[in-house]
Amino acid sequence: AATKRKRDAPAARPKKRARGAPSAPEAGAKAGPEEYRIPPPVSQGKWKNKERVLIFSSRGINFRTRHLMQDLRTLMPHSKADTKMDRKDQLFVINEVCEMKNCNKCIFFEAKKKQDLYMWLSNTPQGPSAKFLVQNVHTLAELKMTGNCLRGSRPLLSFDPMFDKEPHYALLKELFIQIFSTPQYHPKSQPFVDHVFTFTITDERIWFRNYQIIEEDASLVEIGPRFVLNLIKIFQGSFGGPTLYENPHYRSPNMHRRLLRLSVAAKFREKQQVKEVQKMKKKGSKVLIEEDPTEVVFETPAEQKPVEIQLVKPESKPIIKDKKKPRKIQRKKQKKLFRTEV
């Protein structure tokens, strides 16, 4: 029955049910099977690992480096961008830029001579940092791969077993993990894992590849970008400090170009020397070979004919004049006269 309320009195509101309070089970009810139960949430979804990576470059980079930098920003939702840095500035200024941008990791592309590209990976501001020479750069637009992944998804990191055998590779592995792995529950990331970053060591270099994971058969399809990192040095500090490791197999691009020029010059010099030797052989005097006495063994002497001496003068042959010759001369004269008259 409807309850009567007094005049000018507030209406009685129904009591709100508690959101998180589970309903009390009835006394006679039995617990259902486990497969019908809804599992509790695994985590509250708090963003704890707040890694921020600053990706920028110096002035003088070419279009391929600019596209590679943009591809890395697309693949890493926890990255930030900044304006290009002047080449006259010192590298330790980057630590202040990272502090202003509230970043604790940095990827810096340094261009030299408009053809050589160097990459710095650093943990700012304490360190360590590593310097690489970037080779064989291929961007996303350039490769035109068939693979495709969700933008902002979290990647898996796959490392070569060689990273666990050498101490300097172990340090680089930890640096790669902290820089390239997207933090869990990042605001700009998606809660999916659909691509893999692979770091492989071959020919004393680190090869970077990006593959998509296909759900049907769990096969891998390359997406891009791809590049090769040739390690130069590992420093204790950020963008400087004591050298922890120096690659003995590294050869600078200037030295590589110089050796190529020397090899071309050596080939040209060798051709010139061969030509000079051939000229000397042609100009040189012929060597006289001594006569071999055995060559006369198979020669048979010719028969000697008697010598005849002519004592009488031979008769002279009669001279026969050509009767047709004067006629030919006359015809030629007539032809000349006819031409002049015409």
SS3 annotation, the chain = CCCCCCCCCCCCCCCCCCCCCCCCCCCCCCCCCHHHCCCCCCCCCCCCCCCCEEEEEECCCCHHHHHHHHHHHHHCCCEEECCCECCCCCCCHHHHHHHHCCCCEEEEEEEECCCEEEEEEEECCCCCEEEEEEEEEECHHHHCCCCCCCCCEEEEEEECHHHHCCHHHHHHHHHHHHHHCCCCCCCCCEEEEEEEEEEEEECCEEEEEEEEECCCCCCEEECCCEEEEEEEEEEEECCEEEEEEECCCCCCHHHHHHHHHHHHHHHHHHHHHHHHHHHHHHHCCCCCCCCCHHHHCCCCCCCCCCCCCCCCCCCCCCCCCCCCHHHHHHHHHHHHHHHHHC
Which whole number is the average pLDDT over 174-199? 90
Q: Is the pLDDT of residue 214 over 80?
A: yes
Cα torsion for 74, 77, 82, 88, to the nearest 10°?
Answer: -80
Q: Is the pLDDT of residue 39 over 90?
A: no
For the chain, the farthest-separated pair of C-alpha atoms sits apart, in whole angstroms, at 185
Distances in whole angstroms, Cα of residue 67 to Cα of each of 139, 267, 280: 6, 39, 59
Higher-pLDDT residue of 330 and 174 is 174
What was the pLDDT predicted at 26?
47
Residue position matching structure tokens 């970053």:
197
Q: Is the pLDDT of residue 11 over 80?
A: no
Domain 53-255 has CATH 3.40.50.10480: yes
What was the pLDDT predicted at 233?
94
CB neighbour list of residue 234: distance below 8 Å, 6 or more residues apart: 128, 129, 130, 131, 168, 171, 172, 243, 244, 245, 246
What was the pLDDT predicted at 211?
92
- Residue pair 192/255 in contact (Cβ under 8 Å)? The answer is no
pLDDT band at residue 315 under the 50/70/90 scheme = confident
Q: Is the pLDDT of residue 27 over 50?
A: no
Which whole number is the average pLDDT over 131-141? 92
Which whole number is the average pLDDT over 32-42? 57
What was the pLDDT predicted at 245?
93
Per-residue pLDDT of 260-272, as tens digits, reads: 999 999 999 999 9
Which whole number is the average pLDDT over 54-69? 92
Higher-pLDDT residue of 33 and 239 is 239
| Cβ density class 303-313: b for 16+ within 10 Å, e for less | eeeeeeeeeee
Compute the Cα dihedral for 97, 102, 104, 108 and give only its sign: negative
Spatial CA neighbour of 179 closest among 238, 129, 121: 121
Q: What share of the chain in percent tops pLDDT 90?
A: 47
CB neighbour list of residue 51: distance below 8 Å, 6 or more residues apart: 78, 104, 105, 178, 179, 181, 183
Per-residue pLDDT of 264-295, as tens digits, reads: 999 999 999 999 998 888 887 666 778 888 88
* Mean pLDDT of the residues in the chain: 83
What was the pLDDT predicted at 149?
84
Q: Is the pLDDT of residue 29 over 50?
A: no
CB neighbour list of residue 243: distance below 8 Å, 6 or more residues apart: 233, 234, 235, 236
What was the pLDDT predicted at 24?
46
Higher-pLDDT residue of 74 and 315 is 74
Which whole number is the average pLDDT over 211-239? 90
Per-residue pLDDT of 95-129, as tens digits, reads: 999 999 999 999 999 999 888 999 999 998 888 99
Q: Is the pLDDT of residue 152 over 50?
A: yes
Spatial CA neighbour of 200 closest among 176, 218, 220: 176
Higher-pLDDT residue of 141 and 38 is 141
pLDDT band at residue 38 under the 50/70/90 scheme = low
